Structure 1
Amino acid sequence: MLVSIQVDEQLFKTYIFYSALLVLKVLFMALLTARQRMIKKIFSNPEDINTLKNSKVKYDDVDIERVRRAHLNDLENIPFFVIACFGYLLTNPSIFLATNLIRLFVASRIFHTICYAVIVLPQPSRAIAFSMGFGVTIYMAVQTILYFI
């Protein structure tokens, strides 16, 4: 049996564009972690202390850990969004709704990083940012399941 599924071309381009932005964001987080390590002269591996004079090995610097945890949070959430969103695109969703859900997810991940690792805003700002992105992913996954059930 051959199945033919149509995806709106502009919506697919939106998905690809914002997915690429999320990829760059995740990669940028590694650079942000490295930057924090260089500024603080704190490394997690003994062989890295030769990089800068007066460096030390330490595992629990608050600023470095904030960036690392934000990066890990991206790694825990962004791949699932990309998968759920791709499935959602196959359900022939409203172009307006899908486009804005994608934008909301991307904005929530950027805001999450700002709250957690850049400016460090007080709670519940980080929780709200996380919840918006998490909710979008759940919505898309549930809609995909209901469509293909």
Structure 2
Amino acid sequence: MEMLSLNNPVFATYAVSVSLMILLGIATAWITVIQMLRVKGGFRAPEDMKKTPINPAPKADQTAPNEQVERYRRIMQNHLENLPFFGIIGLLFVMTGPSLALAQWLFYGYVISRVLHFLAYASAQVHDIRATFWTIGSVILIAMCVMVLQAGWAAA
């Protein structure tokens, strides 16, 4: 069985987890756009002030920050700061040949921590709650890094 094949249950778990994280990022982008259209604000570029079928009555303040839009932009920024690390270290972790149970705990634990972080951020929970979920995901990434480093040093 090839290590980087969907026939490998560890790699399949990785593929599912990364796909879920990509979907979370895409969903966040769509929610940002929906919020912009809903509040008719939070647009970023000067050309967004032009009259169009979607924006038939542009207002002077449409490019001003709007908290309902900015919240999702901050969530997206957080995704962009964290999810690539998961994709990279997760793939390297698969190559260490971990047990399926360990891989599932780490990969799905990360996914759950990020979904809970998203929900806490989207519902304006206090920083302590968001930070708890972020920390869980961060510790999972650190654990995978340590295991990859150990495997790499052992093989070198």
Q: TM-score normalised by the shorter chain: which range applies?
A: 0.7 to 0.9
Quick one: distance in 2 between partners of 1:137 and 1:65? 27
Q: In 2, are the aligned partners of 1:18 and 1:106 still within 8 Å (CA)? A: yes
Choose from 101, 104, 119 the match for 1:114. Answer: 119
Q: 1:74: which partner in 2?
A: 79
38-47 or 49-58, which deviates more: 49-58
Closer/same/farther in 2, CA of residues 38 and 6 from structure 1, 3 Å limit: closer
Quick one: distance in 2 between partners of 1:23 and 1:93? 23
Q: 1:16: which partner in 2?
A: 15
Percent sequence identity is: 30
- Cα RMSD of the aligned pairs, angstroms, is 1.8
Give yes or no for the alignment of 1:48 onto 2:52: no
Structure 1: gaps of 5 or more residues: none
Q: 1:31: which partner in 2?
A: 30
Quick one: distance in 1 between partners of 2:135 and 2:56? 39
**Paired residues for 1:125-144 under 5 Å:** 125-144=129-148
Closer/same/farther in 2, CA of residues 36 and 99 from structure 1, 3 Å limit: same
Deviations 1:68-91 (A, max 9, x none): 010011011111111101111111
Give yes or no for the alignment of 1:123 onto 2:122: no
Quick one: distance in 2 between partners of 1:32 and 1:103? 23
Deviations 1:44-88 (A, max 9, x none): 222223324254333422221111010011011111111101111
Structure 2: gaps of 5 or more residues: none
Q: For this pair of structures, how many residues does the alignment match?
A: 144
Q: 1:62: which partner in 2?
A: 67
Quick one: distance in 1 between partners of 2:107 and 2:85? 13
TM-score normalised according to structure 1 size = 0.88
TM-score normalised according to structure 2 size = 0.84
Ranges of 4+ aligned residues in structure 1 off by more than 4 Å: 5-8
Quick one: distance in 2 between partners of 1:6 and 1:62? 45
Choose from 90, 94, 97 the match for 1:89. Answer: 94
Quick one: distance in 1 between partners of 2:63 and 2:11? 45
Q: In 1, are the aligned partners of 2:3 and 2:11 still within 8 Å (CA)? A: no
Amino acid aligned to 2:135: S
Q: In 1, are the aligned partners of 2:89 and 2:144 still within 8 Å (CA)? A: yes
Q: 2:151: which partner in 1?
A: 147
